[in-house]
Amino acid sequence: MQESQLLKIANEFGSPVYVYDGNKIEAQYKRLTGAFKNVKKLKINYAVKALSNISVLKLLHTLGSGIDTVSIQEVQLGLAAGFKPEQIIFTPNGVSLNEIEEAAQLGVKINIDNLSILEQFGAKHPTTPVCIRINPHVMAGGNANISVGHIDSKFGISIHQIPHILRIVENTKMNINGIHMHTGSDILDIEVFLYASEILFETAKQFNNLEFIDFGSGFKVPYKPGDIETNIEELGKKLSKRFNDFCKDYGKELTLAFEPGKFLVSESGYFLAQVNAVKQTTSTVFAQIDSGFNHLIRPMFYGSHHEISNISNLKGRERFYTVVGYICETDTFGNNRRINEINEGDILAFKNAGAYCFSMASNYNSRLRPAEVLWYNNEAHLIRKRETFDDIIHNQIAVDFSTNKENILAK
């Protein structure tokens, strides 16, 4: 998107505001499917947790995507967005058997990553197809905070526990229709990912009635100029050949599945915020905006980098600013960034704000969550209204203690 379009949206819908470029989402989806065009059966299941707005889900539905969900509420949201149950896979962690049964009753695909739950579910519902999430003990992601395939991860069933899985399957006669892994986000080394894939292939050989193998996702996107990213095209070429060879040996055409979130939506997103004040201290110039980690927590939570530009002053000379929020905590978005000269009232744009940004927003400090806008085919669509104070207190119950206090004092 162009800065002039973003500035127009900020003027029309106010700030702070999230903006998503629908055409970029579409381009990323087609890039991924194009990289695996040599696979006969390919299924992309968008990870809803990355950005769960129903209009974004509807857009992905029109592209042919399925969805990967991690809560019963995300399952319900997917159904409301028009996805059929068979287009939804439920991949929770640490949920109760009751929640998994509730999802199964809705007809969605079930993915289980716990031996105890697997045995309980198989004993009660042996005919319901189940996918098993394996922990390959391979950390393919570049950030330990967001890698989920290492040996001490809470996610997945250890590859060393395959005999336990086979015993449960044999005893319950349950139907295993898929094998799944997820090594974590920001995959830098394709060869490490391919190594983990070999572990998944070896595991898949243990099951005779598979319909799909899900390789997770975690593909890295660039966060700043010159940044490295996962080479999807190279991965597509190498993994497609290996997958097709496996299917020949297996004697059946399986579906190759992925569950990308960040790869599809991160670069589509922009977070726009207005500068409240410019504050000079003894050593720092702060640009203080009308937002905080209540709206964009990733820089403080993960140390994530988001490029910041002043779209109100594109030709201004660069100066060093530390961009901070209005929350009564340390909420620093960027330290000593070179940004075109900032004045109060200017609009700053944060890039890569499509994934895990609004979806992690809160009402901390009783602040309102921002609006969301989808830019698609040169038209801006409001897809979430800005919250009001009434939204904050809607579910709160105000108890009147005055009468009770008077009775206590009377005694």
Instruction: List, as residue ranges, the binding site for substrate.
Output: 298, 302, 329, 356
Helix (H, G, I), strand (E, B) or coil at 24: helix
How many residues comprise the chain?
Answer: 411
Helix (H, G, I), strand (E, B) or coil at 260: coil
**Whether the Cβ atoms of residue 306 and residue 299 lie closer than 8 Å to each other:** yes
Residue closest to 258 by CA, chosen among 217, 209, 302: 217
Which amino acid is located at 154 in the chain? K
Judge whether 328 counts as a catalytic residue: yes
Residue closest to 51 by CA, chosen among 63, 64, 60: 60
Give 378: exposed, middle or buried? Use CB within 10 Å, 0-12, 13-18, 19+. exposed
Q: b/e string for 114-129 if b means 16 or more Cβ within 10 A?
A: bbebbbbbbeebeebe
Dig out the tokens for 397 from the structure.
């119950």
**What's the alpha-carbon Rg for the chain, to the nearest Å?**
24
**Residue 355 backbone dihedrals phi, psi, to 5 degrees:** -110, 130
**Is the bond preceding residue 299 a cis peptide, omega within 30 degrees?**
no
Which amino acid is located at 324 in the chain? V
Binding-site positions for pyridoxal 5'-phosphate read 218, 356
Catalytic residue among 131, 247, 328, 357: 328
Binding-site positions read 218, 298, 302, 329, 356
Which residues are CB-neighbours of 25 under 8 A, at least 6 positions away?
A: 56, 59, 60, 264, 265, 268, 354
**Largest CA-CA distance found in the chain, in angstroms, rounded:** 86
What gap in Å lies between CA 79 and CA 82, rounded to an integer? 5
**Residue 195 backbone dihedrals phi, psi, to 5 degrees:** -65, -45
What gap in Å lies between CA 143 and CA 140, rounded to an integer? 9
**Whether the Cβ atoms of residue 351 and residue 307 lie closer than 8 Å to each other:** yes
Place of tokens 């939204």: 391
Please list the active-site residues.
328
